[in-house]
Amino acid sequence: MRPTDTPPSTADLISDPYGTYARLRESGPVHRFEGPDGKPAWLVTRYDDVRAALADPRLSLDRSNALPGNYGGFSLPPALDANLLNMDPPDHTRLRRLVVKAFTPGRVEKLRGPVRSFADELLDAVEPAGRADLLASFAGPLPVVVICHLLGVPRTDQVDFRAWTDAMITPDRTRPHLMKEAVASLMAFFTALIETKRAEPGDDLLSDLIAVQEAGDALSRDELTSLAFLIVFAGYENVTHLIGNTVLALLDRPELLRTVRKDPDGLAALVEEVSRWDGPTPLAIRRFPVEDMEIGGVTVLAGETVLLSLASANRDPARFPDPDRFDLGRDRSGNLALGHGIHYCLGAALGRMETETALAALLERFENLELDVPRDELTWRPAIRARGLKSLPVRWSSDGRTGF
Ligand code: HEM
């Protein structure tokens, strides 16, 4: 079966994502869709289909399986193709096994103290002003500093590093050469950093990744560089928006804010519920069937682009009763915000820890945090792949320290 209903528009998915997804889920499981790049895709909206597709080996992440001319996504230089989110087994299995040996729970735990110090430093800088755009001055810079610390980027290089990553991740479409230059600068930087770490290993993930060996196998230079890029791509904006969306969910619910202040242990449940209810990654990475197949009873041809909506799946009433209700007490097992299957987020523990630590630092310092603009003036980024605010102006008074 090939559905013939009116395709959803990008504009609807941006202006009212959850209302639009609800209508789509009700009218059918899989919809024809024209992506922002003007290329056709299939949009999968129901929980069971999305979860099954995330783990279906017939759906490839390798863009060489896309129909010619059917994929207009952003491409990195060929040397960076060897990254986990552009790979299928057995290459993915080999690479992920090596990476997991270095990206351990112990390494994430060791970051907890530094993450708290970085969060406190950022808040020290804005506290005297009594107001700030929390995205620009806190939720944005924090994950970059954490990635630098994780990879062992020297402090003296961090200003350049942030400028390049920003130019790459949120490019100025009117000046595309800036993005290309940023990618080239970052590539040269990582190549040199890898050589430095090879000669003088430090206590960081990059040094551990260089040292990882298994059955005589090790990561090549291109694989190391690709991985460093992937960590920037996957570990920056997602965390920024998860922090921003969590702060907004609290400011919208003063009662909840009071509850969380009394019980900081509730932060983990809070962050988990925000990731389900308003997570930063509405769509999984595009996938391409390696053979004709059925998804939700709809025939999808080999090489067509398939978009799996994590945002829609996480609001599917068939899985989460009364899904639009924000409810810390609900059963959230099966939350797909961080993916599912072999590509399940490698940085899940780090991303959660960063967000919880950021929230703890913020709430502990400011008792009277409030929005600094009328609620209806907040605007969302005009993207279907990222769910995050453009800015989050807040204010506090200087006697507002709490100590939780
Ligand atoms: C907390 C916010 C985060 C969210 C919502 C998030 C979300 C996701 C999702 C949905 C996937 C699966 C994509 C797919 O299957 O199509 C994924 C994969 C991945 N994430 Fe995250 N992520 C977050 C934080 C991080 C951080 C902090 C890092 C690293 C520092 C990271 C590194 C990765 C990597 C390397 C993969 C690819 C894994 C593979 O293909 O085997 N993520 N992430």
For residue range 51-96, list pLDDT tens digits in order.
Answer: 999 999 999 999 999 998 777 666 678 778 889 999 999 999 999 9
Q: How many CB atoms lie within 10 A of CB 174?
A: 6
Q: How many CB atoms lie within 10 A of CB 72?
A: 13
Tell me which amino acid residue 115 is.
V
84 lines ligand 1 (CB under 6 A): yes
Q: Which residue has the tokens 């509405």?
A: 282
Are the CB atoms for 267 and 362 separated by under 8 Å? no
User: Where does residue 6 rank: exposed (0-12), middle (13-18), buried (19+ CB within 10 A)?
Assistant: exposed
**pLDDT number for residue 122:** 98
242 lines ligand 1 (CB under 6 A): yes
Q: Which residue has the tokens 């970059």?
A: 144
Q: Is pLDDT of 403 > 60? A: no
Tell me which amino acid residue 318 is.
A
Proportion of the chain in helix, strand, coil states, percent, rounded to 5: 55, 10, 35
235 lines ligand 1 (CB under 6 A): yes
Q: Residue 96 has which token pair?
A: 């992920």
Mean pLDDT in residue range 336-348: 98
Percent of the chain exceeding pLDDT 70 equals 96
Which residues, 6 or more positions from 301, have their beta carbon under 8 angstroms from its beta carbon?
Answer: 67, 289, 292
Mean pLDDT in residue range 162-178: 87
Please choose from 80, 308, 338, 359 the residue to mutate so as to test ligand 1's pocket, defined by most ligand atoms within 8 A of CB: 338
Dihedral Cα 275, 276, 280, 281, nearest 10 deg = 130
User: Where does residue 282 rank: exposed (0-12), middle (13-18), buried (19+ CB within 10 A)?
Assistant: buried
**pLDDT number for residue 219:** 93
Are the CB atoms for 123 and 115 separated by under 8 Å? no
Taking only the tens place, the pLDDT of each residue in 174-219 is 888 888 899 999 999 999 999 999 999 999 999 999 999 877 889 9
The minimum-distance atom of ligand 1 relative to the CA of 54 is 15
The angle formed by the CA atoms of residues 139, 145 and 146, to the nearest 5 degrees, is 90
| Architecture label for domain 10-395 | Orthogonal Bundle (1.10)
Mean per-residue pLDDT over the chain, rounded: 93
Mean pLDDT in residue range 251-255: 95
Parallel/antiparallel/unpaired status of strands 59-60 and 30-34: unpaired
Q: Is pLDDT of 398 > 80? A: no
Q: Residue 10 has which token pair?
A: 């990008």
**pLDDT number for residue 286:** 95
Distance CA 92, CA 79 (A): 16
Q: Write phi, then psi, for 393 (nearest 5 degrees).
A: -70, 125
Tell me which amino acid residue 249 is.
A
Minimal-distance CA residue to ligand 1 atom 7: 338
Tell me the whole-structure pTM to 2 decimals: 0.95
Q: Is pLDDT of 111 > 70? A: yes
Give the closest residue to 267 by CA, choosing from 370, 341, 359, 386: 359
Minimal-distance CA residue to ligand 1 atom 12: 339
**C-alpha 284 to ligand 1 mean position (Å):** 10
Q: Residue 283 has which token pair?
A: 């769509």
SS3 57: coil
Percent of the chain exceeding pLDDT 90 equals 83
Give the closest residue to 134 by CA, choosing from 364, 390, 381, 375: 390
Q: Residue 8 has which token pair?
A: 């959803």
Q: How many CB atoms lie within 10 A of CB 167?
A: 19
Which residues, 6 or more positions from 367, have their beta carbon under 8 angstroms from its beta carbon?
Answer: 261, 396, 400, 401, 402
Tell me which amino acid residue 391 is.
S
Taking only the tens place, the pLDDT of each residue in 351-379 is 999 999 999 999 999 989 999 999 999 99
Are the CB atoms for 335 and 314 separated by under 8 Å? yes
Which residues, 6 or more positions from 247, have their beta carbon under 8 angstroms from its beta carbon?
Answer: 134, 139, 359, 362, 369, 392, 394
The minimum-distance atom of ligand 1 relative to the CA of 336 is 10
**C-alpha 354 to ligand 1 mean position (Å):** 14
Taking only the tens place, the pLDDT of each residue in 216-246 is 889 999 999 999 999 999 999 999 999 999 9
Mean pLDDT in residue range 106-121: 96
Distance CA 346, CA 234 (A): 9
Distance CA 206, CA 212 (A): 10
Using 50, 70 and 90 to split pLDDT, how confident is the model at 3?
low
Distance CA 150, CA 154 (A): 11
Q: Is pLDDT of 404 > 80? A: no
**pLDDT number for residue 397:** 82
